[in-house]
Amino acid sequence: MNKSLLVICETGITASSLLYKLAQEIESEKLNVDIDYAALPSLEEKLSKKEYDILLFTPQVHRYKETIGKLIQKYAKHTQVKTISDQDFQYMNVPHILHEAVKNEDRSLFQNE
């Protein structure tokens, strides 16, 4: 069973690089994870159209916590919410970011186990 992961960033500028690296890591590790992203201006639209298993926030969006919290309550009450650490984001530590995002998920993420 695939898990869906939505990466949320402030404007989408760094998201393309991060998503590319996350997709490579997902493929390399053979994880059952579908990945998507949303910049803050399009977050409500994304959440209203699809149910995600994990929301993964970049550090910049922390200052919008109240606004995002309302959207989560409206569209994603039962979704896991994770934040990428400043250090992991700065150095694009993709293996650790992905591990932290899915570590409390069930083992079905791993195809070969």
> Is residue 110 situated within a structural domain?
no
Q: Model's pTM, two decimal places?
A: 0.86
Q: Residue 74 falls within a domain, yes or no? A: yes
Q: What is residue 109's predicted lDDT score, i.e. its pLDDT?
A: 38
Question: What's the domain count of the chain?
Answer: 1
CATH of the domain at 78: 3.40.50.2300
Handedness of CA 81, 49, 98, 110 (dihedral sign): positive
Per-residue pLDDT of the chain (113 residues; tens, 9 = 90+): 689 999 999 987 777 889 999 999 999 988 899 999 999 999 999 999 999 999 999 998 988 989 999 999 999 988 999 999 999 999 999 999 998 988 765 433 333 33
* Distance between CA atoms of residues 30 and 11, nearest Å: 29
Q: Determine the pLDDT at residue 16.
A: 81
**Would you say residue 111 lies in a domain?**
no
